[in-house]
Chain A
Amino acid sequence: MPVAAAPRTPHAPDADEVPQRKLYRSADGRMLGGVARGLAGHLGLPVGWVRLAFLLLFMWGDGLGVLLYAAFWVFVPLGVGGRTGHRSFFETLPDGTRRLRKPDRGQITALIALFIGAGIFISKVQMGGASGRYVWPTLLVGAGVVLVWRQADNARRAHWSTAAGRHGRLFQVARALAGVALVGVGLTVFIVVRGSAAQLGNVLTATLAVLVGVALLAGPWLIRMTQDLSEERLMRIRAQERAEVAAHVHDSVLHTLTLIQRNAEDVSEVRRLARAQERELRNWLYKPEGTGKDEAEEPATLAEAVKKTAAEVEDHHGVPIEVVVVGDCPLDERLAAQIQAAREAMVNAAKYGGEGGPVQVYAEVEGQTVFVSVRDRGPGFDIDAVPGDRMGVRESIIGRMQRNGGTARLRSAPDGGTEVELEMERAANTA
């Protein structure tokens, strides 16, 4: 299928960007063990060429191709990639029906080459001759081994992908059994050919006896070993988890408690430490990935940005800030400006209105509009009475919003607290 290994475009998705060029066997789109496709991916050659090379080596190199292939199969680990897109024997037509995919030219060529090769091989070996007697059993055994080995590959691949359905599993078992049967038949034929048919019964009995003996001796030990192995793995996972929790608690909670003991007189400092710790622990407990620690990362979405900003202001000014976010969207330039304005509002609220209780921040994304409200329950102030040279509210909040195409409203009542409402349309190009 040379089509699949078309020249690589620099912007193709990850399948083409191999970070370190390590040789893997390809699990996708393989015919046997994925050796040829893996090699092709590694060398940057069309997979058809590699396959042809193996075939030629097989036919005229006295079976060297088979040996090489087998060696690669055994020693190269199975990997992903080496193929773009999924192909099956069926294709879905635009009207929704499925039909057999037309085989492409490369496939047909490969098949023809295979048949020709097989023909040459068969004609070269004299079937009736003395050596020919061994050829068939060897082929049988080979086929059986290939089947079983491919089976092992599939088992490994099943680890990565989601579990195959019932149907798939049955098929796998059938294939493994077929492989074993092939090997068995091949070996039996070997023995029969070497000796005489009369001895078949004796040989079979002896083999059976040896097998049963080995099973009896080694069976319990094998079972015990696999059980121990899985149990050990479980214990290790548990220990790892516990270690992680312990490390986190040690790094953050114990550390903070020590700080609190040392600063017991400074109420606001104690409160600040406790709040920060509570926030971090919550993050860590309720976020699926346990990503509480990477605070250095710049937030990519509005919700993250609002929470991060609130956390920073809270840490800085020691006033609790309650954040409620409804909906979310990616952050763009305008929203970044809105967040800046909101930060200014939060700082003001924390500075002047912090005594009245927690500052409340509410952000909502509704369609294209993003609304942020910052509210405190402080003494409030008269915005018209603020002298003209005080630029905090006028420039940092109202001016910034207007420059970026948004609006800001301020409502403040004596004893009623202050509320800042910021409204901004999202940039049109962000989907």
Chain B
Amino acid sequence: MTEAGGSAGVGETRRVRVVLVDDHRMFRTGVQAEIGETGRTGVEVVGEAADVDQAVAVITATRPEVVLLDVHLPGGGGVEVLRRCAPLMAAAENPVRFLALSVSDAAEDVIGVIRGGARGYVTKTITGTDLVDSVFRVQDGDAVFSPRLAGFVLDAFASTDAPPVDEDLDRLTQREREVLRLIARGYAYKEIAKQLFISVKTVESHVSAVLRKLQLSNRHELTRWATARRLV
């Protein structure tokens, strides 16, 4: 995603208000500095929080466009923040969008926050430019997938290969699979578009569709689980 980094920031005067949620003060300072270093961008950190309660309070008070959310937090973790901010995410006007930013790349963490409603997942090894780019992309309503996340998603959908119902809902289309594969191979969205002879917008919509299916599959899996045990 290095190439795409330039396209969003340069010459544009858009501003993004961001809240940073992480229990390590050092890391919050580091991210602030990284974002500041890129200079040209309009990313503005309007609030910080170190645990779940603080995060919910700060997010509700400031209504940022994007929240950079750590997965491991005292008080229930990032998933808990997502749960309690669900109304804000669903709001018709100025919805709050979440981008998970974590040192952990364990599959359950990643899939967990994505299903909780986060719009993307990047690891803490990301560069400042890429981070800013990701923030802009999330603000636009697109999903941001790191190669690792794409790998997990492919894995998750491959293992539930024979769904009894909702086949068209739960399955990834051939194209979506291709796009994910290229992301997993480290391609930037722009490169994917070139490779598949489609527009960047199409790539983004494919990725968003994957994200939606991932969240949907949660609900459907739950229903399936409950039906299998005759709970409903």
* Residues of chain A at the chain B interface (Cβ within 8 Å): 282, 286, 322, 324-327, 357, 360, 362, 364, 366, 373, 375, 377, 419
Binds A, one of B45-53, B62-70, B179-187: B179-187
Which of these, A327, A362, A366, contacts B185 with CB under 8 Å? A362
In the complex, whether B148 has a CB less than 8 A from a CB of chain A is yes
| Given A360-B185, A362-B184, A373-B185, A326:B147 Cβ within 8 A | no
| Given A357-B2, A362-B184, A377-B2, A322:B155 Cβ within 8 A | no
Chain A residue contacts of B147, Cβ below 8 A: 322, 324, 360, 362
Q: Are B154 and A326 in contact, CB atoms less than 8 angstroms apart?
A: yes
Q: What is the CA–CA distance of A366 and B2 in the complex, to the nearest angstrom?
A: 29
Q: Are B151 and A326 in contact, CB atoms less than 8 angstroms apart?
A: yes
Chain B residue contacts of A375, Cβ below 8 A: 185-186
Q: Are A326 and B155 in contact, CB atoms less than 8 angstroms apart?
A: yes
How distant is A369 from chain B, measured CB to nearest CB, in Å?
A: 13
Q: What is the CA–CA distance of A158 and B151 in the complex, to the nearest angstrom?
A: 42
Q: What is the CA–CA distance of A236 and B185 in the complex, to the nearest angstrom?
A: 47
Chain A residue contacts of B106, Cβ below 8 A: 286
How distant is B211 from chain A, measured CB to nearest CB, in Å?
A: 18
In the complex, whether B158 has a CB less than 8 A from a CB of chain A is yes
Closest to B188 in A: A377
- B interface: dominant SS: helix
Q: What is the CA–CA distance of A419 and B104 in the complex, to the nearest angstrom?
A: 27
In the complex, whether B150 has a CB less than 8 A from a CB of chain A is yes
Q: Which parts of B98-148 form the interface with A (CB within 8 Å)?
A: 104-106, 147-148
Closest to B191 in A: A416
Q: Which parts of B27-66 form the interface with A (CB within 8 Å)?
A: none
Interface centre among B2, B184, B186, by most chain A C-beta atoms within 10 angstroms, is B186
Q: What is the CA–CA distance of A269 and B179 in the complex, to the nearest angstrom?
A: 36
Chain B residue contacts of A364, Cβ below 8 A: 154, 181, 184
Q: Are A324 and B2 in contact, CB atoms less than 8 angstroms apart?
A: no
Q: Mark B182-226, 1 if CB is under 8 A from A, else 0.
A: 001110000000000000000000000000000000000000000
Not counting A324-B147, A326-B155, A364-B154, a sample of 12 additional A-B residue pairs whose C-beta atoms are within 8 angstroms of each other reads A286-B104, A324-B148, A324-B184, A324-B185, A326-B158, A326-B184, A360-B186, A362-B147, A362-B184, A362-B185, A373-B185, A375-B185
